[in-house]
Structure 1
C-alpha cells in the first residue's frame, strides 16, 4: 500500500500488523505526508515518549500498527479522491471540513470511528453528495 512496505490485504497484512509495523514505515509515511513526527504521532494517538521507545525498538505494537494502517487507508482514499494528486490530498486532510463538524480529517484518524467518518466524507465527495 502506497509503496510503504505494508502488504495490501489478507493474511500478510494481518501478520504484519499483528507483529508490529517497522518504525521505518512511520518515517517514510511522515515524509510522504510532509507531517512532522510529532503531528503524525498525535494523529495516531501515540505519545512522544512511546514514539521514542518505538524508534529504539524498531517496531510498533500491534494496536499502533493498526492505527497506522487505518491512516494509510484513509490517505489512499484521499489521494484517489484527488485523482492521484498527493499534495491536494494532504492539504485536504489538514483542512477544516464542515461535513465533519469543522474538524480536520487528520484529527479524526486516531479512532476507527473517525477513520470511517472521514472515509464516508471522501466517498460522498467522490460521488458528488455533499449533504
Structure 2
C-alpha cells in the first residue's frame, strides 16, 4: 500500500464507514483492491490466502494498529529481519497471509463496533478485564486469540459484559 493511501485511511476514515459489507471493509483496511484484489466472499479470502499478500500490507497494518514492525513480526511469527529483507511486492506465506487477513477483520469489526479507528486503536492497546487484564493486541498472534477478541467485540456491540 502506498504511504499516501494509508495516511488517507487514517485521516479520513469516513470512506471506511460507508462500506456495506465486511469484505469491502477488509479490503479497505488492507489498502484497497490494488493491493489485494476484490473480495466478495470467503472463497475469495481462501484464494488470496493461498496466493499470498504483499509484504507492504504488513507495514500498513502495523501503521493502522500503531505498533512497531518488531511487534507486528511477533504477531505473524516471522522474524523482523525476514520482513526487512523482503521487497514490498514479495508475497507472504499462506500462514502469514491468513494471520494478516484475520487481523484486518478484527480491525474492521473493531471500527464498526467502537465507531472510529482512534477509539479502536486506544481500545486494542488498553488492558481489558475480560482478557485477564491483558491488551487485545497481545491476543492477535493466534487464531484462538483473534476469535476471543472478535467475541469480545460482539459482546461490546450487544452490551454484554
Under a length normalisation based on structure 2, what TM-score does the superposition of the two structures give? 0.72
The answer for the alignment partner of 1:89 in structure 2 is 120
CA shift at 1:37, angstroms? 1.2
Distance of 2:117 and 2:45 partners within structure 1: 23
Alpha-carbon distance change, 54 to 64 in structure 1, aligned in 2, over 3 angstroms: farther
**2:104 matches 1:72:** yes
Aligned length: 129
The answer for the alignment partner of 1:126 in structure 2 is 157
Distance of 1:68 and 1:54 partners within structure 2: 16
CA shift at 1:2, angstroms? 4.5
Distance of 1:18 and 1:123 partners within structure 2: 28
Unpaired runs of at least 5, structure 2: 1-25
The C-alpha deviation readout for 1:12-62, integer Å capped at 9, x for no partner, is 321211111111111222222222211222222222133224447722101
Unpaired runs of at least 5, structure 1: none
Contact 1:38–1:48 (Cα < 8 Å) also in 2 = yes
Match of 1:11 among 30, 39, 43: 43
Under a length normalisation based on structure 1, what TM-score does the superposition of the two structures give? 0.87
Distance of 1:15 and 1:38 partners within structure 2: 28
The answer for the alignment partner of 1:59 in structure 2 is 91
**2:134 matches 1:106:** no
